[in-house]
Structure formats: C-alpha cells, structure tokens
Amino acid sequence: MGQELILLYRKLIGCSIEFIADEIATTVKPVLSQSPTISYRIKSQDTLAKKMILVKTESIIDIDDVYAFRILVSSANEAYLVLKALTKSFRGFLDHDYIANPKTRPDKPHLDGKSLKLLQFIAYKNNVPFEIQITTFEWNESNELLHDEYHREKYPIIDHSD
C-alpha cells in the first residue's frame, strides 16, 4: 500500500522532490548572506501508512509531510527572512514558530535543556501539502534529538529515519 500512496502523491503534486528543492533554493538564496543547506526526504512507506492510521485518514493529501525539507541557515533572523521569501513563492501557512516559542519536553528528564527551535511552514504545490522546516545550524542537532524521540514514541516498531 505504501509505495502506491507515494506514487499517487508524486502524481498529485506534479513534480519530483528534487524539483521542489531546486525551487526552494532559488527562492531563498537571494535573502541570505551565504548559501543555505537544504536537505529533503520522502516519508517512508511504513511511517506513512502508520501516520494515516493515526490521523484516521485514507487520503494522502491529509498528510502534510510526505515531502519534507529542512533549510539550515546561520541565524534566527535569517530563518525569518527565508520564511518571508517562501511565503511569496509558495501558498501556505506557518504551522509552528518554535523559534519564538521553543518546544520543550519537561516530561522527559533525559531531554532536560533541549528544545525544538525551528519554523514549520506547510506549503502547497498543485493543492498538495509539503513541509518546510527552517532552523539554524546551531539548533539542528538538538532538533534532531527531539525529533528522533518523538518518532520512537509516535511510531513504535518501525524505522525512525524520517
């Protein structure tokens, strides 16, 4: 089921993930002092199937992070400049501002002192959602630790690589 869903998603969005990554790079480079690092991934088939069950949907369009991008920049100020540029090129909305309001996990003592610091923008291409996270090089390591912990809790017994 997972592979068919990913193929359907690509058909609906109308382009490859690499194409969108190039669009993002072209959009954000002019507002930065140096080139950003842009990474991307397609949600794994297993995680996608599990997430669709968790959100109680049969429609791939209800999952906003099948394609997901992360943009690493030098500062919080640059993160907001990137967000502003993206909103001019892609229809979408700011889903979370964890830079202004970092997300912590006080219920997890082993994560003490760690907080999620990023902007999460949900963009659309051909009315199909995809996720863009914007953060700094400095905050990225802590963000990854918290993301891995989230996946271990949310999606037990499956691959946590996305």
CA distances from 54 to 27, 29, 131 (A): 34, 37, 18
* Cα–Cα distance, 106 to 152 (Å, whole number): 17
Beta bridge partners of 133: 70, 120
Tens-place pLDDT, residues 58-90:
999 999 999 999 999 999 999 999 999 999 999
pLDDT at 141 over 90: no
pTM of the model as a whole: 0.85
pLDDT at site 132? 98
Assign domain 2-154 one CATH number from 3.90.550.10, 3.30.460.10, 1.10.1200.10, 3.30.70.250: 3.30.460.10
Nearest in space to 42 (alpha carbons), one of 89, 90, 8, 72: 8
Half-sphere exposure (Cβ direction) of 139: Cα atoms closer than 13 Å: 23
